[in-house]
Amino acid sequence: MLKVVLGDITRTKADVIVNAANSTLLGGGGVDGAIHMAGGPAILEECRKISESQGGCPPGEAVITTAGRLPAKYVIHTVGPVWHGGMRNEDQLLASAYSNSLKLAVKNGARTIAFPNISTGVYGFPKGRAAKIAITAVKEFLKTDKSLDEIIFVCFDRENHEIYERELKSEN
Ligand code: AR6
């Protein structure tokens, strides 16, 4: 049910792939840039509409769009917190980014979902701490909702991959 892979999320087959976006929803670098590049302009078009109607997306929340040309049905764009040292509600906001993405995926009928390591790139969240929060948030969600078949953590860098492998192993 919980799976960890090393790779590029734009090549991952899942009903939903999650994007680590920013509050404007208008694109950026990192995984956000890769998703828009691979998925094509239809994704940005929908993001723009959502952004105009609700004024962007605050940290911890999530919105859904088409996946364009990606091998997924939807992209869920969530905004992780910028790391400021841990005293600005970063842990809770990161957990919410995961749980709100899961809720939105289930609401849209998804059975499989792939997450990048939200906030651990440009936003500077410590990787080990982020992995613990991500895994805990997903496990909490799975306690009450049984509709997802597979949740994949797609790690792009080896460091995150090793951290996730270790975290999941130590829990089993
Ligand atoms: N597939 C999977 N993971 C990836 C990929 C990929 N193709 N490319 C990078 N990563 P980041 P953040 C990993 O910086 O920290 C954007 O500009 C990367 O190794 O993409 O949440 C947004 O617009 C890292 O572990 O997102 C925001 O402004 C993880 O994805 C800002 O960056 C997240 O790194 C968000 O920062």
Tens digits of per-residue pLDDT, 73-93?
999 999 999 999 999 999 999
Residues within a 6 A CB radius of ligand 1: 8-10, 20-22, 28-32, 34, 80, 116-123, 154, 156-157, 160
Q: Which CATH class is domain 2-171?
A: alpha beta
HSE (side-chain half, CA atoms, 13 Å) at 82: 5
Task: Give which of 101, 167, 110, 104 is closest to 133, Cα–Cα.
Answer: 167
- pTM, two decimals, is 0.98
From 19, 31, 51, mutation site for ligand 1 pocket: most ligand atoms within 8 A of C-beta? 31
Active site (annotated) includes residue 149: no
Closest by CA to 35, choosing from 23, 52, 53, 47, is 47
Mean pLDDT of 18-38: 98
> Domains of the chain: which residue ranges?
2-171
What percentage of the chain reaches a pLDDT higher than 70? 99
pLDDT single digits (tens) 144-169 = 999 999 999 999 999 999 999 999 98
